[in-house]
Structure 1
Amino acid sequence: MTSETIALQTPAATPHLRVGEIRKIVFAAYLGNALEWYDFFLFGTVAAIVFAPLFFPGDVPAISLIGAFLSFGAGFLARPLGAVVFGHIGDRYGRRVSLVATVMMMGLATTAIGLLPTYATAGIAAPIMLTLLRAMQGIAAGGEWGGATLMAIEYAPPRERGFYASVVQLGSPTGTLLSSGSVALVASLPGNAFLEWAWRLPFLVSIVLVAVALWLRWHVEETPAFKQLAQQDKTKKLPVLELFKKAPGRLLIGIAAYLQCNAGFFIMTAFMISYVTKTLGLPSTVILKALSIGAVAQMVVLLLSGRLADRIGAINTVVLGYVVTLVLVFPIFWLVDTRNPQWITLGMVCALGLATIPYAPIGNLLSRLFPAHLQYSGLGLSANLSAVIAGFMPALATQTLVFSDNQSWGPASLLALIVSISLIGALLAGYVTRPQR
């Protein structure tokens, strides 16, 4: 399928709404996305600190840690299933109904994790239930990002799609900020309160957050672009099969281009928490506070990057961002290796701030790879098939750390490889979507 064909199939409909109304719709997409990512990231935030000792106890700490990270990875294995199911719903029946279902599923799974018995109480059933609920989180997350991003793009004015897409992307750092901040808060309680019971509180709060997200999404109308497709009878009965049949090459490019946004992020968050607390021996509050400040920097950069994408193009901005990230990979680990909280914070600002430049316009870039009637499935599968790899990055990074004799060059080299793959994917995306002459 050529770039020209895709352009002809993409609705040019811009919603006839006031700017204020569009912003309210995009804000609802952002806030729902943020609450979803809070739930999903919360698991990774406590995986090394809580789940390893309480659900995967053992005499060898490294094995216990890898067990917790494998459970963490189960959520990523399930994400393509969510992309298929909710991509089908979103492309066939509408973006809104799919997004309501994803936030409900995520909230129920997260709340249930907060109620689970530990290994000491339930034995082997505890880690099994934890892993199954993590998979449920993954299914919900698999349908979330593509739909929320697509809703913002389809409502946005054509010349501001980069910026509006970046607003939805703010959901990721907001989720990071909320999850790391809430865990840091309960981790500061005296004595053993955190491991004994307080770790459950951030999970249980999810039931309140999901109610807010459901209310917001219930009051958002279907996008005009999808309504146009439905009226013209251009929706497909099996959009995912159509995607694999008509655009498999573009899907591979999308997976490569998005890989760093998934895999690199979880090396810099879930693995870094483990690295700082287990390998460097620092208190968990050091890295959690650093991640919180890094998430704030990420929010600022996302908006600036979205504006930049509207000026120089989404593809150019993504390529620039990956080049900057590649330059920063080893310096980030060198800063963390100082064991100085201030330098660690600077490292996380670089990791979650400057290295997030490509994340703002990546949704806009991916949407151009696929025709309108397959965009929900295309965005979802690009992000979530890369997530299958990303989910095992903390465990793989731990293995590279062992291989490098606890030296940071091991996981840093792994991260550099991931960034390089995404850089190549972004360049290929630019090539296949260039205007035909």
Structure 2
Amino acid sequence: MATENLQLKNAASPPQTTVQEPNVPPAELRRTAISSWLGSALEYMDFTLYTLAAALVFGPLFFPNADPAMALLASFAAYGSGFLVRPLGGIYFGYLGDRYGRKFVLIITLAMMGVATLGMGLLPTYAQIGVGAPIMLVLLRLIQGFGAGAELSGASLLLVESAPNGRRGFYGAVVAMGTATGVLLASSMWLLLSQLPKDQFLSWGWRIPFLLSIVTTLMALYLRRSISESPVFEIIKERRAALRAEEKQQGVWRDVADARKPFLVSLGIKLGENGSVYLVKGFLIGWTVSVVKMDANIVTTGVMLGSIMGIATVLLTGKLTDRFGRRKVWLWLSAFQFAFTIPAMLLIETRNPILVALVFVIYVGGPLPNMYGVESTWLVEMFGSKRRFSFMTTVKEVGSVLSGGLGPIIAAAVVAATGPGWLPVAAILMSYAAIGWISGYFAPETRGRDLNSEADAC
């Protein structure tokens, strides 16, 4: 086992061992890819819609008795409640996914997210039912967050375990393409509907994107019900009796202890990717508008164009990982993210609309989706088949809270303490990039790894 681990860590090319190819027909694999793409698009469309609504709509409609600043804070507190339950959803559905199957879990999580998002579009406001309106908003957000805790991980896992060994990187990147698609759909619909007269937008216009999300949900559910289970899980089912006997002797905590190295390097990879996403798409956007005093439409245009660029580039990045390895491509992307930070801040400081928009085009279309595209396959290959779903969802959701939840708060606190200069912002962005690069450096190369193996990659 130690020899195998050493080879996985140091190999620049796939191991020269025979790895069983998944026996998934091309048409079946296409359906799996499309359902994974739609599912991840739905999650990120939900996330983007809620963020936009929290900033522009939910305050006056659901918290009207508070002053504007407190109403905005209350809106984002409701948003944060979904973040808090994501790790719980990840752990719970990860266990179910390892026990009962990937497809089983993905149908449940997709339905939960779709129903919750549709429900937000149907919610009565505070003026109609009083305090029940914000309570129902928080409950729907909790349902949405609990389901989202396993959606992206499960979609990546099912698709990568079903893909041909030499094309795992390409198919894993489909999930990352879905995240960029979701951001593009939500921001485009919102920008279009915000052109309505303000009273119409606040009365019914804001509801339309939430209601239309049911179309994506139904399409993805139809496809998911028709796809087959992961070939890896089918093998696990055949070994189920033996696994239960082993678990009685070894137990889950022994498995957790044995997986501490892949868990820690995977967590660092997730911190590097996810921290940068939330700092750029959340904090940096707000900082550019409120501190640098740039028009919000300039930043929004940059994000939209970057999303289009991300959709176009992420599958290419997946192909590059199939040719050169996950680790090498990740290190190059992390290095670019680190090196681009100071030039990006200097470009924003010029206050030139084209240059400011260009910064967000490069970030949103370059390292952010493409790092997730690498991670989507890499973390699947990092863990053994026995508890892959459980460990992967735990890594992703704990990492999301530590980076996506805490990163913007840390950045805001540092800026509040040091003043409006850009150096502290750059330092935080570079710190997350450095965490990602260092973790990637110590992580093993997993391209070509046998996904039916119960052993972790390091």
Please report the TM-score for the alignment, with normalisation by the length of structure 1: 0.88
1:415 has 2:429 as partner:
yes
Range that drifts further, 410-419 or 242-251: 242-251
| Equivalent position amino acid for 1:256 in 2 | G
Per the alignment, do residues 313 and 164 of structure 1 end up closer, same or farther by CA in structure 2, a change over 3 Å counting?
A: same
Say whether residues 1:40 and 2:47 are aligned partners. Answer: yes
- Which residue is equivalent to 1:69? 76
* Per-residue Cα deviation, 1:310-366 (whole angstroms, up to 9, x for no partner): 111101111111111111123333334444432232111211122133221112221
CA drift of 1:417 comes to 1.6
Q: Distance in 2 between matches of 1:213 and 1:59?
A: 40
| 8 Å contact kept, 2:326–2:447 | no
Contact (CA 8 Å) 1:69, 1:392: kept in 2 or not?
no
Paired position in structure 2 for 1:304: 316
**Aligned AA (1:133):** L
Query: Displacement of 1:82 after TM fit?
Result: 1.2
Distance in 1, matches of 2:133 and 2:291, equals 27
C-alpha distance in structure 2 between counterparts of 1:329 and 1:201, whole Å: 37
Residue of 83, 101, 116 corresponding to 2:90? 83
Contact 1:45/1:269 (8 A) holds in 2: no
Q: What secondary structure is seen at the aligned counterpart in 2 of 1:170?
A: helix
Structure number with larger C-alpha Rg: 2
1:363 to 359, 376, 379: 376
Residue in 1 that maps onto 2:4: 4
Deviations 1:46-85 (A, max 9, x none): 3323335544564473x55444433333222211111111
Letter in 2 for 1:250: P
Task: Tell me the equivalent position of 1:186.
Answer: 193
Mapped partners of 1:34, 1:283: distance in 2? 27
Residues of 2 paired with 1:124 and 1:413: CA distance? 42
Q: Shift of residue 200 of structure 1?
A: 2.1
Match of 1:249 in 2: 261
Residue in 1 aligned with 2:230?
223
Identify the range of structure 1 (313-322 vs 401-410) with the bigger mean alpha-carbon deviation: 401-410
Question: Are the counterparts in 2 of residues 162 and 307 from structure 1 also a CA contact under 8 Å?
Answer: yes
Q: Which residue of 2 aligns with 1:383?
A: 396
**What is the rounded CA distance, in whole Å, between the counterparts of 1:179 and 1:261 in structure 2?**
22
Distance change in 2, residues 1:403/1:431 (3 Å):
farther
- 1:199 to partner: Cα distance: 1.9
TM (normalized to structure 2)?
A: 0.85
Displacement of 1:372: 0.9
CA distance in 2, matches of 1:382, 1:299: 25
Q: Which secondary structure does the structure 1 equivalent of 2:189 belong to?
A: helix
Please tell me whether the aligned partners of residues 184 and 285 of structure 1 are also in contact (alpha carbons under 8 angstroms): no
Deviations along 1:236-263, one digit per CA (max 9) or x if unpaired, are 6899756534313322221111113222
Worse-matched range after superposition: 232-241 or 216-225:
232-241
Q: Aligned in 2, Cα 1:49/1:282: closer, same or farther, shift over 3 Å?
A: farther
> Does the Cα contact within 8 Å between 1:106 and 1:140 map onto a contact in 2?
yes
Spell out, residue by residue over 1:23-58, the C-alpha distance to the aligned partner (whole angstroms, 9 max, x if none). 332222222221222113321233323335544564
User: Which shows bigger deviation, 171-180 or 341-350?
Assistant: 341-350
Report whether the alignment pairs 1:100 with 2:74.
Answer: no
**In 2, are the aligned partners of 1:32 and 1:103 still within 8 Å (CA)?**
yes
CA distance 1:287–1:11, change in 2 (3 Å):
farther
Contact 1:293 1:349 in 2 (8 A): yes
> 2: distance between equivalents of 1:48 and 1:38?
15
Cα gap change, 1:335 to 1:140, in 2 (>3 Å): farther
Q: 1:274 aligns to what?
A: 286
Distance 1:29 1:205, change over 3 A: same
Partner letter of residue 110 of structure 1?
A: T
* 1:137-175 deviation digits (Å, cap 9, x = unpaired): 221111111111111111111111111111222111011
Partner of 2:170: 163
- Whole-angstrom distance in 1 between the partners of 2:22 and 2:164: 8
* Structure 2 unaligned regions, length at least 5: 9-14, 450-456
Q: 1:29 aligns with which of 30, 36, 51?
A: 36
Larger deviation: 151-160 or 420-429?
420-429
| 1:295 matched to 2:302 | no
5 Å-filtered alignment, 1:284-363, equals 284-356=296-368, 357-363=370-376
Change (3 A) 1:2 1:196: farther
Deviations 1:352-402 (A, max 9, x none): 122133221112221232111211112211111111121243344333333
Separation of aligned partners in 1, 2:346 and 2:125: 36
Instruction: Measure how far apart 1:419 and its partner are.
Output: 1.7
2:11 is matched with: none
How many residues end up aligned between the 2 structures?
435
Q: Percent identity?
A: 34
Residue 135 of structure 1 deviates from its aligned partner by: 2.3
Note the aligned Cα RMSD (angstroms).
3.2
Indicate the residue corresponding to 1:112 in structure 2: 119
SS of residue matched to 2:196? coil
Q: Work out whether residues 83 and 377 of structure 1, in 8 Å CA contact, stay in contact via their aligned partners in 2.
A: yes
Asked if the contact 2:302–2:357 (Cα under 8 Å) also holds between the matched residues in 1, the reply is yes
Match of 2:416 among 399, 402, 405: 402
SS of match in other structure, 1:373: coil
Contact 2:49 2:210 in 1 (8 A): yes
